[in-house]
Amino acid sequence: MMMLRFAIAAGPEIGLGHLRRMQVLARAALAGDFTVALHVSSGAQHVAVADGLPPPIAVDDWHQLPAADGLIADGEIFNADHFRAWRKKFAVITAIDDTASRPLDVDLLVNPGLNADTVNYRHLSQAQILAGPQYGLIDPGFFVLRQERPSTARALVAFGASDDGQIAAAVATALLAVEPLEIDLVTSPLLAVAAAVRDAVDLGGGRITVHHGADMAALMAQATVYCGAAGVTVTEALAAGRAIVTAAIVDNQQANISALQKAGLAAFRHVDSAAMAAAVSAVCAAEYQPPPTLQIGAEGAEKILAAILAKR
């Protein structure tokens, strides 16, 4: 039985996208008879994880991770010094990466991004590379939703775990002015809810429901359109077959924006509340068809684990 440790960057500034997708990989690993341990940035260890997974372990010094058969690291905070220290402790090292922003001395490099085929790693790593949305790490529950289309217009507005609701409230307020739909507004479970959220709720007259952290699959099941950040949740919306209006809130989401724009979807380089609201209104007025060029793989986790096993 192979022991895998997961090094996961997470927190109020980073968000929880890395943790979300690593939970998908960890659950697949447990089903495949691996053993797993989840290590997260200090401060994020209290975030609830999926049933069946061990509680996350807080880490203050990433160089000091205990040894194991394999390591999977997800987050731009992990640099060459970390990978050099880990090389002495792990037989197989895998990096999940979206940006090609630093050298990666690893055995396996996975970029599940929508625009991964345009990223050049040749000057950064000698690793085997798995690139593209066919290696997406999406909870299987989202794919089931493709068969379930709500009949009532409802927007899921969410800008990640780095947003206390300030961004989401501005977009939701703009939506109230252009489209008579119900809105689920999600704020970070790691931060106190911004006062702007209460103002939006008051203005909405019962049309806005606030979620301080949420089961995103459950909310996506009710939504006809996802309006939010262009990180992990936008790939979940694609998997679920939902209409999409999205914007980058950090630089590493720009690659997804490029791919979404190329596919003809409403994707903005920066948050523009009025423009996003107008795009939601246009989406609601038409019958949405998922873009055939952006197919998210349902077996990404299994493919990655098979590649890791082959490296033993």
CA dihedral 187, 191, 193, 196 (to 10 degrees): -80
Residue 123 has a pLDDT of 87
Q: Which residues contact 210 (CB under 8 A, 6 or more apart)?
A: 165, 185, 186, 187, 193, 197, 201
| Predicted pLDDT at 288 | 78
| Stretch (H or E) spanning 17 | helix 17-31
Query: What is the token pair recorded at 241?
Result: 């077959």
pLDDT at 293: 67
Q: Are the CB atoms for 44 and 20 separated by under 8 Å?
A: no
Cβ distance 123 to 104 under 8 Å?
no
Amino acid, single-letter form, for residue 250: V
Q: Hey, what are 264's tokens? A: 């003809």
Domains and CATH numbers, the chain: 3-138+297-310 (3.40.50.11190), 141-284 (3.40.50.2000)
Q: At what angle do helices 17-31 and 300-310 cross, to 10 degrees?
A: 70
Q: What contacts 70, CB < 8 A, 6 or more positions away?
A: 2, 3, 4, 5, 90, 91, 92, 93, 94, 308
Give 10-residue mean pLDDT values along the chain (312 residues). 95 91 96 94 86 93 96 95 95 94 93 89 90 94 89 94 96 94 96 97 96 94 97 94 96 93 96 97 83 82 96 88
pLDDT at res. 205 = 94
